[in-house]
Structure 1
Amino acid sequence: MDRSTQIKALASSTRMEVLRLLAEPGKRFGSQWSADPVEFGVCMTLIAEALEVSQPTASRHLDILRQAGFITVRKHQKWSYCQRDEAVIRDYLQWLGQELAVAG
């Protein structure tokens, strides 16, 4: 995994907010009717609304998170749904902890 892409992805408060929102999809997006937000992911349109940004702006942020591996995106009918990739997030946090650890 390209760590510089991951660092860039997390350098934005908006992208950090996306990851926080997607951490609890059932709580934050429980009214999503097109698919179960926990099982299938959250519709990009709802993420844009939650962020109070345009859909193109949200799409750009989501694409950067996808490139970094922090989220997966899948299409269903005419919508795209996003989910956090918890394994990639854990791996990144472990790597970051090792990089920042004080050698003793």
Structure 2
Amino acid sequence: MAAVARAATTSDAFNAIAEPQRRDILALLRAGEWPVTDLARELGMSQPRASKHLRVLREVGLVRVREAGKQRWYGLDARGLRPVHEWLGGFERFWAGSFDRLDAYVQDLKQEAE
């Protein structure tokens, strides 16, 4: 039986940030608000493509938009990253424990060498 390709979904932050260009947009927005034309130019993409990515990020709560005259300014809404941060927290504890064990092992090796 042939595998059926799953349709791409952007229903949550995890799926939205799976796309590298969206992560690039979020990285730029950490520094403050940007108009879509400047974001597109900075990332080397067309304005319609940048707008599409911004719409996805806005729909999942990672980006907010503010209208100023004829321009729309996009900014980071990091609250939308909370589920990602909480999920990653378990892995942070894993790595911290791994590094603690590695440090203890290195200390044991140093003591044996003396």
Same fold (TM over 0.5): yes
Name whichever structure is richer in helix by fraction: 2
**One-letter amino acid matched to 2:27:** R
**Higher alpha-carbon Rg:** 2
Q: CA deviation at 1:23?
A: 1.1
**One-letter amino acid matched to 2:57:** L
Runs of 4+ in 1 over 4 A off after TM superposition: 98-102
Q: Percent identity?
A: 29
Which residue is equivalent to 1:86?
A: 78
- Give me the TM-score of the superposition, normalised by structure 1: 0.69
- 1:48-76: CA deviation from partner (whole Å, max 9, x where unpaired): 11111111000000011101111101211
Choose which of 10, 13, 19 in structure 2 pairs with 1:6: 13
SS in 2 for 1:60: helix
- Give me the TM-score of the superposition, normalised by structure 2: 0.64
Does structure 1 residue 22 correspond to structure 2 residue 29? yes
SS in 1 for 2:67: strand
Does structure 1 residue 72 correspond to structure 2 residue 79? no
Give the number of equivalent residue pairs.
84
2:14, 2:84 within 8 Å by CA — same for their partners in 1?
no
Structure 2 gaps of 5+ residues are 1-9, 95-114
2:36, 2:50 within 8 Å by CA — same for their partners in 1?
yes
What is the root-mean-square deviation of aligned Cα atoms in Å? Answer: 2.2
